[in-house]
Amino acid sequence: MIVKIEKLVCDGYGLGRISDKDAGEKSGKVFLIKKALPEDIVEVKIVSEKKNLIFGKIKNIISPSKFRINAKCSHFENCGGCDLQNTSYENQLKFKDEIIMEIFAPTKIFARPEKIIPASKNELYYRNSIRYFFQVQNGKINFARHDFFDKNLLKIDRCFLQSEKNFEILELLKNILNNSLESKNSLWQLKIREGKYTSQIMIEIITSDENLPAEKEIVESLKIIPEIKSIYQTIAPYKSLKKMRRRLLFGSLVVLEKVGPFTFQISPESFFQTNSCGVKTLYDVIKKFAEVKINDKVLDLFCGTGTIGIYLSTLAKKVVGIEIVPEAIRDANDNAKINKIKNIKFVCSDINNLTIRQFSNHTIIVDPPRAGLTKKLIDDLSKVNFKRLIYVSCNPMTFVRDLKLFESRGVIAEKIQPVDMFPQTHHIEIVGLLRKKF
């Protein structure tokens, strides 16, 4: 099946069609092809079909796009980590702008998005967190990640989104484990977290039972690396993260990272933006939109570990952060103490059960998961006499869906700024400033 790619669409797919004379029963259907670029002509292997959509992967490139370059990573064609490394960063930004404009085009949303801005100068080596799977073959250990389509494990020698130091750690672990005669069947995942501005590293080895092969040698070898400040074993029975428990094998409970003048702790459970070097750019957009003044009160919904609220706290009279995850609230309170912030309070609560009207005349920030906001929360927020409403989203599709619901309730988008936090991937962060229509 030969397909010409017309454009990139949300989720990083190249969208294309085949000519009517060749289409047969596929006539009128849209092909969505991962790793394809506009103007590519490709032979496609069909992976799955859904209504009028056909999902496929490139079998052969008949005529390469003028936008195509050789990816730096030898695993690019199959790995699920990157999907835009085969084009220049300038083109990546161009395509992301086009994707955003196309999402907004059919809507009557009041504001139009600004051009996407790079979060940092780092196009590679920017990730502060990465997860690998242990792959045991013939008694030997490799490190693997998921294939982008079938989710089979793909052996990875290196990844250009993480630091070089991480590969020293991978090689060291591989050598220790491959020289061990102990059973390696309990090994499941390896997670490495790194403070880009502190150089502090946390190692988390996830096993399916209590057994950690070569435990003593692993700990003794890793702890002499100056950057490694914390080593955990996480035990996840039956490879389920729901019933996991942790053992601290070495060092401190947390590692530290900086965002501007603030220091934040990262525990194994913490959510922290994966691009440390880009977080300040994102938070500065939020800060610019919020225009917080000395007598203002701020409500930070989905506050996580409190990073946004703390970043704005020195400008405000008072900040309240709400989050449903107890571990995140614990970290948020610790982060406030580390930074000696006295005017902030964190509450563990389900946001959808919150009485929003008590926060009248607040500047409200929402930073929900990819699924976006519930209709109930949009209703509640629309009824509040807020000062400003800042919506931070990692999913442009649900962002636009929610903006349409807000506008039908008299709350309009005044400014929209996309931020490229994740070079080499299709992911886009987007910030909106909303206000009452009347």
pLDDT, mean of residues 98-121 = 92
Residues 170 and 193 both lie in one domain: yes
The C-alpha atoms of residue 279 and residue 308 are separated, in whole angstroms, by 10
> What string of DSSP letters covers 270-322?
----SBHHHHHHHHHHHHHHH---TT-EEEEET-TTSHHHHHHHTTSSEEEEE
CATH label of the domain that carries residue 210 = 2.40.50.1070
The residue annotated as part of the active site, out of 73, 159, 303, 394, is 394
Active site residue 82: no
Question: Which range is least confidently modeled, 297-311, 352-366, 390-404?
Answer: 352-366
Residues 6+ apart with CB under 8 A from 101: 112, 113
If one counts every other C-beta atom within 10 angstroms of the C-beta of residue 354, the result is 16
Q: How far is CA 212 from the centre of its chain?
A: 29
The C-alpha atoms of residue 258 and residue 116 are separated, in whole angstroms, by 24
Q: How far apart are the first and last CA of the chain?
A: 54
Mean per-residue pLDDT over the chain, rounded? 93
Does any domain span residue 75? no
402 in a known ligand binding site: no
273 in a known ligand binding site: yes
Domain hosting residue 299, numbered range: 97-122+275-436
Residues 284 and 198 both lie in one domain: no
Does any domain span residue 85? no
pLDDT bucket at 107, cuts 50 / 70 / 90 = confident
Residue 438 has pLDDT above 80, yes or no: no
Does any domain span residue 334? yes
367 in a known ligand binding site: yes
pLDDT of residue 26: 62
pLDDT of residue 203: 98
31 in a known ligand binding site: no
Residues 112 and 137 both lie in one domain: no
| pLDDT tens sequence across 54-101 | 999 999 999 999 999 999 999 999 888 899 999 999 999 999 999 999
Residues 309 and 415 both lie in one domain: yes
Q: How far is CA 398 from the centre of its chain?
A: 15
Q: Which residues pair with 144 in a beta bridge?
A: 133, 155
The C-alpha atoms of residue 154 and residue 108 are separated, in whole angstroms, by 44
Residues 197 and 332 both lie in one domain: no
The C-alpha atoms of residue 384 and residue 377 are separated, in whole angstroms, by 11
Residues 30 and 103 both lie in one domain: no
Residues 426 and 318 both lie in one domain: yes
The C-alpha atoms of residue 297 and residue 318 are separated, in whole angstroms, by 5
Residues 50 and 118 both lie in one domain: no
Residues 432 and 284 both lie in one domain: yes
CATH label of the domain that carries residue 410 = 3.40.50.150
Q: Are 394 and 366 in contact (CB under 8 A)?
A: no
| pLDDT tens sequence across 13-52 | 999 988 555 556 666 689 999 999 999 999 999 988 988 8
What DSSP character marks residue 359? G
pLDDT, mean of residues 167-189 = 93
Can you read off the two tokens belonging to residue 387?
């000062």
Tokens 């930073």 locate to 367
* Helix/strand/coil for 238: helix
Residues 6 and 34 both lie in one domain: yes
| pLDDT tens sequence across 253-295 | 999 999 999 999 999 988 889 999 999 999 999 999 999 999 9
Residues 431 and 291 both lie in one domain: yes
The C-alpha atoms of residue 211 and residue 215 are separated, in whole angstroms, by 9
pLDDT of residue 343: 98
Does any domain span residue 82? no
Can you read off the two tokens belonging to residue 346?
């964190």
pLDDT bucket at 144, cuts 50 / 70 / 90 = very high
pLDDT, mean of residues 306-321 = 97
Does any domain span residue 400? yes
Which value, to the nearest 10 degrees, does the dihedral of the CA atoms of residues 260, 261, 263, 264 take? -40
